[in-house]
Amino acid sequence: MTTDGRGPIETATAELVAWLTSAAGETVPIGPPRTDGDAAGLTLWPLALRPARQTRSSGAVREPYRFTVRFLLCVTGPAGLPRLDRVLTAATGDGSYPVVLEADEPPLWTAFGSAPRPALLIDVPAQVDHPTPAAPPVLQPLRLRQLGVRALTGRVVGPEDQPLAAMRVELPGTGSATRTDPDGRFLIVGVPHDPEHPGPVRLRLTGRGLVLTADVDPTEPEIVIVCAPPTH
């Protein structure tokens, strides 16, 4: 629908009537072909809806649905011939509306119960627009919260508190990683820290044939991770 509440067919008809009024020199009424011989002038009638090439939609934006409204413009009496002449001259001169000279099919006039007469078929492009849905309103002010980072220090030991050197300690998903020193100690930096939602930090340890994860408490002053070999 347009902003004035008219649909695409009604809009196409109104625009064509306005153009015909200018080209013919008088208002062209909308209606089927007149059968009374004394009538003078032209009549316009929406005859058919025809498909048009569609554009593929992408993303959230929906392309309009395009089609063509075919109108029948015909003479209703001898006085209509010069007016039809003016319309044909204007249409072929400025290219505003494509005309088709194929309105001489007998079944067309039989359907109207009328004798064949000079007429034009005029194709008018139209489309059904699909407006993009409006985003919901923001009811509360936007709050930006920046997470801090911290460093974790600790030791990696075996079952008998033996330090495990050269163990890889990493923070999954961040790229932060280090290796333990000869005393089994490690320092890993860049650990996200959210003081409003504290919680354990998951570390992945690799080495000595082991691959394991450990959830540690970042508030512990001395983190100790015990790596035990798997039992069979």
Banded pLDDT at 149 (limits 50, 70, 90): confident
Residue 83 token pair: 């007016």
Residues 89, 152, single domain; the answer is no
Domain boundary among 64, 96, 128: 128
Mean pLDDT of the chain: 82
68 and 178 share a domain?
A: no
The CATH number given to whatever domain includes residue 187 is 2.60.40.1120
Instruction: pLDDT band for 37, please (50, 70, 90 cuts).
Output: low
Same-domain status, 49 and 78: yes
∠ Cα 182 187 191 (to 5°): 155
Amino acid symbol at 10:
E
List residues bridging with 58 in a β-sheet.
Answer: 61
DSSP 199: -
pLDDT at 144 over 60: yes
pLDDT at 91: 85
Q: What is the pTM of this model?
A: 0.53
Q: Which domain holds residue 115?
A: 8-128
For residues 152 and 207, state if they share a domain.
Answer: yes
Say whether pLDDT at 79 is over 80. Answer: no
Residues 60 and 171 in one domain: no
